[in-house]
Structure 1
């Protein structure tokens, strides 16, 4: 993530000595119990983009935190992203960071859910279900 143009452009907007802390939000649908029938919950996870993905993707590293279930109210990221917040790093030093929402990670069923699109269609564009393998850009899906 830190090799992209996005990171450098956002970092350039911050005060000297501050660091961007890209916030990654991911959801996953899970069945509550084997005995509850069709009752599911959408777990919401939070990760930081400045932690390498090789560490973020390993549950044993504890780099991913469960922060709630859908529907989660607005996260307090706007104020912290604008004003910054102090955190203690692994080396014990206190630094000012700016958590900036960077990614929302979801598998196909969750993409359909959050974009209010029909399962079997593209959640990004108006591509018909019979043409999903085609990678060419199509008219983007717009929501009014």
Structure 2
């Protein structure tokens, strides 16, 4: 990430002496059991973009942190069309993610104070975390972007 034009633009947007912390978020609805289809979890994970990819994927490095479990409950179908139900599910997801990511949004505001963090060398730095990527499978991408599942974005 640090070699892209995005990185330079983000670094220029924050106050002098600050540093950018590129945040990567991922989520994936997971079935917990094969015997009962209603047991599921919806974890949301966070990692930093300046951690090498080879370390991000190794569980022992603790480079990826669980930050939340989203609701897997579905709203009541009574009186709702398929479209209204889908929109209701989108709203639940997006409002939940807004709550989860609110501290990140506040800390990453270039006009704000950022947050002080101690680096590996013991130096204290003012860090501005910014969401740089949201990693998801196709189904999750449809949910995040509020698009209809199964519709080709190029053809439709």
What TM-score, normalized to structure 2? Answer: 0.72
**Counterpart in the other structure of 1:99:** 129
**Per-residue Cα deviation, 1:24-63 (whole angstroms, up to 9, x for no partner):** 1100121133444233222100111111222112222110
Gaps of 5+ in 1: 129-144
Query: What SS does the corresponding residue of 2:42 show, helix, strand or coil?
Result: strand
The whole-number CA distance in structure 1 between the counterparts of 2:122 and 2:36 is 45
**Larger relative contact order (CA 8 Å, sep ≥ 6):** 2
Distance 1:116 1:79, change over 3 A: closer
Which aligned runs of 4 or more in structure 1 are off by greater than 4 angstroms? none
Contact preservation (8 Å) 2:68, 2:100: no
Query: SS of the residue aligned with 1:10?
Result: helix
Counterpart in 1 of 2:105? 78
In structure 2, the residue matched to 1:66 is 66
Q: Show the counterpart of 1:127.
A: 155
Kindly report the root-mean-square deviation, in angstroms, between the aligned alpha carbons of the 2 structures: 1.8
Q: Which residue of 2 aligns with 1:136?
A: none
Structure 2 gap segments, 5+ residues each: 71-95
How far apart in 2 are the matches of 1:68 and 1:12? Answer: 31
